Structure 1
């Protein structure tokens, strides 16, 4: 035992002499596992935003992953559909702003919707548009015939049912047909971008918001003013649809891609003219 103690003290003296000769030497505790020097650097080095973009691990992807986990409830339960109305005021306002002021070169789905497609905005936008068209149509008709002694005002409630049928059918059936077409073309051409049905519904719903202030201004009993407002609104909302769905079909056959975008704009124009 005495020899062992003497040996340990000798080792301790040698270590003390080495540290005195080289104060910058690295010491390793026997209680901790040895970690290479380059690994220390990697642990302390903060991640750069460029790396997140290259790896696809930005905040939108993380939000999308969390949204996918949130929508994992069975589709026959109330909780499953409740998630599509789980948006706050700032998200809805941001998406409305993106639909009214489209940014050239920016995809509306990628920029505003991909993390959490909702039905709250599209539902209430369509409902508000139906009510606005019905009220403005009745008021416009009243102002046009105002002052005529033979005119007797009669509310036209049928405009509510006609507007509701046209708008909700457009906001649901056209996205359904477009979603089916994109899925079919994706099976033919593998590099076609495919959106989910709810994402397409969300795009169409928010693209209709610009018609709400336009419908209010349709009270002005001047055909020329109404046509100018309609064309202006059509260009704004139509540009959102074109910039969203053109990247999805541009790698397809050229004629098919142009025909698809042309059909999207045509149906959008028919709705605007029908509302007028």
Structure 2
């Protein structure tokens, strides 16, 4: 049994006892209780969810706080991270933008309604790629159906059409927006109150505007000229409506001649793409020579 003179034995402080005796209604605070309460609050706040503090990712916390604060990292355009942000998009957003480009509504600006200052390259890239293979495959199938049943015809797939179609589609989807962006930027520097669009926004609009041509090209397989021209006209009206309603706010305050020139150029390049693809990949084939035809050689008389 410990002695009364043991220095390690717990002793009651006389001063604390006297203070409690003087004011019995006073509230006492325990340090241990504060620690337990803080731990419980931290657990209830969800900070220890997922298995404790060791599982918490500090980098993820930094990214969340950065997004919540509305700050974005600025990276140079020649790096891979700069273009990676344009492929970070949800599937339902791509679906909404495709539907918005196929079914344009009067008075709705595609950039303001669907892009919301968040353009992507995922949708335009796959739309252009799908259109390239759709044109090449439909052109080969159409050529095969036209010559089907002819004894002197041997089918040979034309893989060169894929290269030509890719050059035409991607040149239209990148070079035309580049020229339009440069022109609008030049006009915006001269007239300060014009609406300005970024280059990626213009590329995004042009890429999604080509989605209507994919079902139209599939219909071109059937060897009916009236069906092909009808699908071309419908696709031109829908695709051209998206482009004109989108870029009208950017030029409506400009000079009337500039407005006519820009709108005409947008419609003209769109029509040239559709009519050019139809004329090159789905043109009427040359008539075959009869199987028994022979060349007649004329010899000069002596």
Q: TM-score, normalised by structure 1?
A: 0.74
Match of 2:18 in 1: none
Which of 72, 77, 80 aligns to 1:78? It is 80
Match of 2:104 in 1: 102
Match of 1:134 in 2: 136
Q: Give, in angstroms, the shift of residue 114 of structure 1.
A: 2.8
Bigger helix fraction: 1
* Separation in 1, partners of 2:84, 2:208: 19
* Separation in 1, partners of 2:73, 2:272: 35
Alpha-carbon contact 1:71-1:83 (below 8 Å) kept: no
* Separation in 1, partners of 2:202, 2:229: 28
Match of 2:283 in 1: none
Which of 89, 92, 101 aligns to 2:91? It is 89
Give the root-mean-square deviation of aligned CA atoms: 1.7
Which of 202, 207, 210 aligns to 2:209? It is 207
Q: Does 1:265 align with 2:250?
A: no
| Structure-to-structure mapping, 1:86-235, within 5 angstroms | 86-235=88-237
Deviates most, 76-85 or 121-130: 76-85
Residue 264 of structure 1 aligns to a residue in which SS? helix
Q: Does 1:246 align with 2:248?
A: yes
Larger Rg: 2
* Separation in 1, partners of 2:71, 2:156: 53
* Separation in 2, partners of 1:250, 1:91: 29
Q: Give, in angstroms, the shift of residue 70 of structure 1.
A: 3.9
Match of 1:22 in 2: none
* Separation in 2, partners of 1:211, 1:240: 13
Runs of 4+ in 1 over 3 A off after TM superposition: 68-71
Structure 1: runs of 5+ lacking an equivalent: 1-64
Q: TM-score, normalised by structure 2?
A: 0.68
* Separation in 2, partners of 1:263, 1:171: 14
Q: Give, in angstroms, the shift of residue 255 of structure 1.
A: 1.1
What is the aligned length? 212
Alpha-carbon contact 1:102-1:240 (below 8 Å) kept: yes
* Separation in 1, partners of 2:147, 2:258: 48
Q: Give, in angstroms, the shift of residue 151 of structure 1.
A: 1.5
| Structure-to-structure mapping, 1:3-14, within 5 angstroms | none
